[in-house]
Every structure is written in structure tokens, then in C-alpha cells.
Amino acid sequence: MIPVKPLVLLIEDDPQIRRFLRTALTEHEYRLIEAVNGKEGLQQVTTCSPDIVLLDLGLPDRDGGELTREIRSWSRIPIIVISARGREEEKIQALDAGADDYLSKPFGVGELMARMRVALRHSAQFKDGRSEPIFEVDALVVDLGKRQVTLAGQRMHLTPIEYKLLTILVRHAGKVITHAQLLREIWGPPFMNEVHYLRVYMGQLRRKIEQDPAQPHYIFTEQGVGYRFRAESSVNQKTMAAAS
């Protein structure tokens, strides 16, 4: 069976960026529909039911966060938001409104494709209702069924909070998770602003699984936004980087 090419909805007002993305996405076997503003974009989400949305946050007519929330109120479609570096507040707003991931402008094609691949994979897993019981990346194996973590064959002893932190990150591997999302899932809504708890536990967890916690291999810090777990084993990563 030939897999159907995924349909991408691109909501972007700049014609030059649209043109480049059109070429890039076609080159990578995606089908594409385009919208130049939020209103048109929203319409196409309903009428064309795309597989993934690329949403520029600097649209002339609509606030990106608001648009994300509106789409999210009735659809689980993966949304990747695009905005300039230094606009971390804007990204957090969109992510907390339900966007799956973000890209900072300017970005390379390799980066975009990696983000889209992760978002589509998570979306497919969500649709199937199945999630991998065993997660493996490089030397780290997390067995969600047995609640067991091994690093290079060695059984790791994690505290309940460290384990919970790791499993949330692993379940969303490759996607950014905001501080607020982690705090809400681990400690509950009253602790949404207590980012320092997270930093302390993240430090502890990294000391257990990372060789050098200040040069992490598994858990990356997205400064001012949240954390991102390594999407794929480093061998894959290298061949990907070489290809991009």
C-alpha cells in the first residue's frame, strides 16, 4: 500500500516565505494548501481537514495564540507555530493554547522536517490510541509498562517525581513541553508558577541520566520556554544532519 502524502496547511502572510516552503514541502513529499491570513486558515482547517498546520504567529488579522485555541477547541490536528527568536512569550502563549511545537525564524529545512515528523508521529499514535510501552533512545530505555528505567543496561533508581518527569518528556519525545505543562501534570495547577521546583528536579534527573548535565544528550533546555527530549537516537540524528 502506498502511504498517502500528508496534507500540510501553511498559514503565512509573507509570499516569499510561502514560496520557499512550497518548494521545500513538495520536495519532501508533502501536499500543501496555503492561507494568507487567520480567517482563511481557519476556514481551510474545517473544509480541507489537513494533517498538520504550520502557523506563522505574525499574522496581520489574528493573534496566533487565539487562533490556536480556537482550532484546538474542536480539533486534535498538530499545530507547529513559527515566530522570531526573542518572542518567547508569544511562543509560550501559543504552546499553552495547544500548539504542539514551535520553530524560531530563521530556520533550516532540516529543522522544519524534524519538527513535522515528530508532530505527525505523535498525532498518529494519538489516533491509534496506542503508545509505545517501551521507549528507547541511544543508551536509555524507559519501560513504561514495568515502570523501569535503564541506562546502558544499568537499572536506574529514580524518585517518583523524577520518574514522572522523565515519562512526560519521553511520551512527548522530540516535542517541546512548557514549564507550565510539566508543573501542571506533576504538581497540579496551584504550582504552575513554581518553575524553580522543576529546575531543581530537572537538575537531579539530568545528573542521573546525563553524562555531563551541563552538556545534555537527552533532555535539552529550551530557554524561557521549557524542555525537549531527544527525538531520535544520535545515529539517526547524524544521518539526518548530513542530509540537511
Partner 1 sequence: MVEPLKAHNLPSRQAKRTLSGIAAYFCAALLVCVLTIAGMAMIDVLHFNTVSVAMTYTLGVMVVAIYTSRGPAILASLLNVAAFDFFFVSPHFTFAVADTQYFVTFAVMLTVALVITTLTSRMRNEAARALAQEREAHALLVEMEREKLRNALLSSLSHDLRTPLSTIKGAASLLAEILQTNSSSSQHTLAVSILEEAERLNRLIENLVFATKLESGAVAVKREWVSLEEIIGSALTRLRSERPSRKVRIMLAADFPLVRGDGVLLEQAILNILENAYVHGGEEREVEIKCKKEGGRVEIRISDCGPGLEAGSETRVFERFYTSRRGGAGGLGLGLHIAKGVVLAHGGKIRAENRWEGGASIFIDLVADEAPMASLQEVMAA
Q: Does 134 bind partner 1 (CB under 8 A)?
A: no
Beta strands in the chain (DSSP E): 7-11, 31-35, 52-56, 79-84, 101-105, 134-137, 140-143, 148-151, 154-155, 176-178, 219-222, 226-229
Nearest CA among 74, 18, 25 for reference residue 49 = 74
* 145 three-class SS: coil
Q: Does 61 bind partner 1 (CB under 8 A)?
A: no
How long, in residues, is the chain?
A: 244
Q: Give bridge partners of residue 143 from the DSSP assignment.
A: 134, 148
Total number of residues that touch partner 1 (CB under 8 A): 47
CB of 222 to partner 1, least distance (A): 7
Decide whether 133 or 203 has the Cβ nearer to partner 1: 203
Decide whether 69 or 217 has the Cβ nearer to partner 1: 217
Binding residues for partner 1 restricted to 168-197, rule: CB under 8 A: 187, 191, 194-197
In whole angstroms, give the CA distance from residue 86 to residue 185: 27
CB of 110 to partner 1, least distance (A): 7
Q: Give bridge partners of residue 103 from the DSSP assignment.
A: 82
CB of 27 to partner 1, least distance (A): 7
Q: Does 76 bind partner 1 (CB under 8 A)?
A: no
Decide whether 66 or 111 has the Cβ nearer to partner 1: 111
Q: Does 107 bind partner 1 (CB under 8 A)?
A: yes
Binding letters toward partner 1, positions 214-243, x by CB under 8 A: xxx---xxxxx-----------------xx
Q: Is the separation of the CB atoms in 32 and 8 below 8 Å?
A: yes
Decide whether 42 or 195 has the Cβ nearer to partner 1: 195
Stretch near partner 1 under the rule CB under 8 A, chosen from 41-49, 126-134, 206-214, 229-237: 206-214
Output the CA–CA distances (angstroms, integers) from residue 106 to 72, 103, 111, 112, 141, in the order listed: 26, 8, 10, 10, 34
* 15 three-class SS: helix
Binding residues for partner 1 restricted to 87-106, rule: CB under 8 A: 88, 105-106
Instruction: Check residue 220 and report its DSSP letter.
Output: E
Binding site for partner 1 (CB under 8 A): 14, 16-17, 19-21, 23-24, 27, 58, 84-86, 88, 105-110, 112, 161, 187, 191, 194-197, 199-200, 202-203, 206-207, 212-216, 220-224, 242-244
